[in-house]
Structure formats: structure tokens, C-alpha cells
């Protein structure tokens, strides 16, 4: 009888609340949540290569990148990243000490991915986590040099397009920087730009040479967004008004 009385509270707890989850199960859920968070960080519509995705994933706190498969987010099913995360839990009913686990999950990165898409449980690949070289630095646009060397034309003078083109050629800019020059009556516009990704603001530099003034400027961030036309030689010739 005494034994039944001792078991009664445990039986009531089990019947009333169901089976108590183990600390390992709860720790695994915490590791899975960390992988889900990694998927949130990587989520997006911008095209990226496997290396770009892997590099981004490796920079997330608590995430180790074990494998990256696929070529581009926009090719086929996109990119699968196997990440290793850890989770900890403590349950006084089942474990006397905190339990920590390390688990691997596959996170899909594709325009077809859903927000907070559940990562898949997978076996951890052998070997150490992958490492990625830092991304190449984009070429620097020669703002100060351009402003210093463009010709100054006095009031009533005439702008020489050929002289402006010679000035640009003498700058010996990085081949990744695209240059464009256009003349319109007594004005010459200049565009120096770096190829954008179609989603983020483009890097560009504008200049305009007119009698009495030589101007060099960077358009506002809003104007440099795709489709806004800020990074164009037309905007150099006839500057858009500043956004309010």
C-alpha cells in the first residue's frame, strides 16, 4: 500500500500532463530553432552564389557551415546549406544536469523558399566546418581625383567634350568601373558606375561640366536603387531633385 501511495503523485503527473520530454529532446528543439533562425537570415530574393550564401551563413552566431550544395539561389532548387548548431536544456524531472547537443540541419535558400521554412534533420558530414575567404572589395570610385582633374570652364566659355574624355582616360580607373560621357549643348555629363546586383543601391559617381561650374556628386541612396535612374548619364546632365 505504501508503495502505491508513493507512485500515486507520479502517475497523476504523467496522466495529467503527458510524458515529460527529455532534456535531450528539448536541447535538440533549441538547436533546430537556431537553424531556423539561420534560414531567416539567409532568406531573400536577391540572386547569390553558393559561396556568397555559405559565407553569409558562416557569419551567423552559433552556426557552423558543414556543406553547401548547388550553384546559385536561382538555379534549379537553389542552394542547400547543411549547418551545425547546438542547443541546451535542463529538466529537473528527467535530468540532474543541463544537456547540450550539437545537431545538423539542411537549410534551403531559394526564391521558392518559405519564410521560416522548417530545416531538415540530417546527419552531420565528416570533417571540420567550412571556411570562406572574405568577399572581394568593390573598386573605389575616384571622387576626389575626378573633382580635382575635371576641367573648369569660365562663364561664357565652351565645354570641350574631348578634354573631358581625355581627363577620364588619364585617371586609369579600375576596369570594373564603367564610364560614360555625354554632351548636350554647352553641358557634358559624366557617369562612373560599378555593376549592381539588381536589388541593392548601385555604386556610382556623377559629374557635370558647364560654363562657370564643375560638379561631382554621389546620388542619394533612393536614386541609386534599381529602376530609379539615379546612376545614369542623363541624371548627370539634368540632376534629379533631392528626395524629400
Q: Is residue 106 part of a domain?
A: yes
In the block, cell 496522466 appears at 15
Average pLDDT over residues 152-156: 94
Q: Rounded to whole angstroms, how far apart are CA atoms 27 and 32?
A: 9
In sequence order, the β-bridge partners of residue 206 are 191, 217
Predicted pLDDT at 95: 60
pLDDT tens track for 31-78: 999 999 999 999 988 899 999 999 999 999 999 999 999 999 999 999
Residues contacting residue 199 through CB under 8 Å, at least 6 positions apart: 45, 46, 226
E strand spans, the chain? 64-69, 79-89, 99-109, 120-122, 177-184, 187-194, 204-210, 213-217
pLDDT(243) > 90: no
Q: Is residue 159 part of a domain?
A: yes
| Percentage with pLDDT > 70 across the chain | 89
pTM strictly above 0.85: no
* Mean pLDDT, the chain, integer: 89
Q: Is residue 12 part of a domain?
A: no
Average pLDDT over residues 77-106: 89
Residues 168 and 114 in one domain: no
pLDDT tens track for 196-208: 888 889 999 999 9
Give the pLDDT band of residue 104 (cuts 50, 70, 90): very high
Q: Is residue 14 part of a domain?
A: no
Least confident window among 6-20, 154-168, 187-201: 6-20
Residues 29 and 61 in one domain: yes
Q: Is residue 149 part of a domain?
A: yes
Q: Rounded to whole angstroms, how far apart are CA atoms 73 and 77?
A: 8
Q: Is residue 81 part of a domain?
A: yes
Question: How many domains in the chain?
Answer: 2
The range of the structural domain enclosing residue 170 comes to 143-237
User: Are 98 and 88 spatial neighbours (Cβ–Cβ below 8 Å)?
Assistant: yes
Helix axes of 50-58 and 23-42: crossing angle, nearest 10 degrees: 130
Average pLDDT over residues 14-35: 77
Q: Provide the grid cell at 29.
A: 528543439
Q: Is residue 217 part of a domain?
A: yes
In sequence order, the β-bridge partners of residue 207 are 190, 216
Predicted pLDDT at 38: 96
Closest C-alpha among 226, 215, 222, 130 to residue 164: 215
Amino acid at each position: 500500500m505504501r508503495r502505491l501511495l508513493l507512485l500515486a503523485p507520479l502517475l497523476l503527473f504523467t496522466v495529467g500532463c503527458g510524458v515529460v520530454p527529455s532534456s535531450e529532446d528539448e536541447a535538440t528543439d533549441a538547436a533546430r530553432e537556431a537553424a531556423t533562425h539561420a534560414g531567416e537570415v539567409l532568406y531573400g530574393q536577391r540572386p547569390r552564389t553558393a559561396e556568397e550564401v555559405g559565407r553569409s551563413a558562416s557569419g551567423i552566431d552559433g552556426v557552423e557551415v558543414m556543406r553547401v550544395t548547388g550553384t546559385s539561389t536561382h538555379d534549379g532548387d537553389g542552394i542547400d546549406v547543411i549547418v551545425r548548431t547546438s542547443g541546451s536544456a535542463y529538466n529537473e524531472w528527467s535530468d540532474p544536469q543541463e544537456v547540450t547537443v550539437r545537431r545538423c540541419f539542411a537549410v534551403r535558400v531559394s526564391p521558392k523558399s518559405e519564410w521560416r521554412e522548417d530545416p531538415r534533420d540530417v546527419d552531420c558530414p565528416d570533417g571540420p566546418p567550412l571556411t570562406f575567404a572574405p568577399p572581394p572589395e568593390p573598386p573605389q570610385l575616384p571622387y576626389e581625383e575626378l573633382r580635382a582633374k575635371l576641367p573648369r570652364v569660365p562663364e561664357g566659355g565652351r565645354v570641350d567634350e574631348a578634354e573631358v574624355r581625355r581627363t577620364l582616360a588619364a585617371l586609369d580607373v579600375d576596369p570594373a568601373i564603367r564610364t560614360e560621357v555625354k554632351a548636350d549643348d554647352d553641358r557634358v555629363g559624366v557617369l562612373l558606375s560599378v555593376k549592381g546586383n539588381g536589388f541593392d543601391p548601385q555604386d556610382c559617381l556623377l559629374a557635370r561640366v558647364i560654363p562657370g561650374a564643375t560638379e561631382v556628386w554621389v546620388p542619394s541612396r533612393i536614386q541609386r536603387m534599381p529602376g530609379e535612374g539615379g546612376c545614369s548619364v542623363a541624371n548627370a546632365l539634368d540632376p534629379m531633385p533631392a528626395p524629400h
